[in-house]
Structure formats: structure tokens, C-alpha cells
Amino acid sequence: MSNKITHSGTVKSIMDGCIKVQIVQTSACAACKVASHCNAAESKIKIVDVFTTDTASYQVGQEVTVWASNDVANRALLLGFGAPFLLLICVLMIALKLTSDEGLAALVALASLVPYYLALWAMKNRIQQQIAFNIEK
């Protein structure tokens, strides 16, 4: 089993050590033969930033393969979904114990996500160094 996640893409722009690569993210059934007749098939176009000092060897329009390790993907999932879910549940349980009002507890739990996502935004440069894509050579 491979220890990395790969996507094929096209270089869209290159500037200041950042290569923007356009990838097409498809659902599992998008490759199915009858996908055009089914509403479940979908694909999304995403732009991925790849930070590198070797921008001279790439050109706009070039086909490349971007990759990230499974550890990077797991860290991104933890920061984006796991930690906020745990925070939401913990704050909800504590607020329910303190107030016994379900509506208020739900609002407090939802409001607790605001500082979390603001903190993520404030640390985006540090997180960007830890969670990054690379281009396969």
C-alpha cells in the first residue's frame, strides 16, 4: 500500500516560489461507465499550491503529478474535522451540565468553533509549512 496520495494536474501559474496546479477531484463513481446517466457522479476542479524553489523547471500548461503523504492528509483531516468535532462535543456537554438549556448549550458549542477557526486562520502560514503538496519528479 502506497504511503502517499497523488493527483494528476496541470500547472496554471508560477510566481514567487509557488506553483498553482489545477487538479480534477472526482468521486468514486465518476469513472463509472454509466456515470453520465447518474446524478451521483461528480467532479470538482481544485487549485493546489505547491511551494518550491525549483520553479524554473516547470511551465504553465505542463502536466504534473502532485502528492502528499498520508501523514499530511491525516493531519489536515484532524485539524479540519477531528479537533473541531471534539471541541464542539466537549463544549456542548459542559454547557448542558452547567445550564440544562439545550438551545443555549447548542449555541455556545457552535460559538466555540469561531475562536478555533480564527486561530487556524491566524496560524495559516505555520500550518501551510506542515501540510503541503509536492510535485513528483
pLDDT digits (tens, 9 = 90+) for 57-98: 888 999 999 888 888 889 999 999 999 999 999 999 999 999
Range of the structural domain that residue 63 is part of: 4-135
The gap from C-alpha 103 to its chain's centroid, in whole angstroms, comes to 31
The x, y and z cell numbers of residue 53, run together, are: 524553489
pLDDT digits (tens, 9 = 90+) for 28-67: 665 566 556 565 556 788 888 888 888 888 889 999 998 8
Task: List C-alpha distances in Å: 130 to 17, 44, 69, 123, 134.
Answer: 17, 25, 11, 11, 12
Structural domains counted in the chain: 1
CATH number where 100 lies: 2.40.50
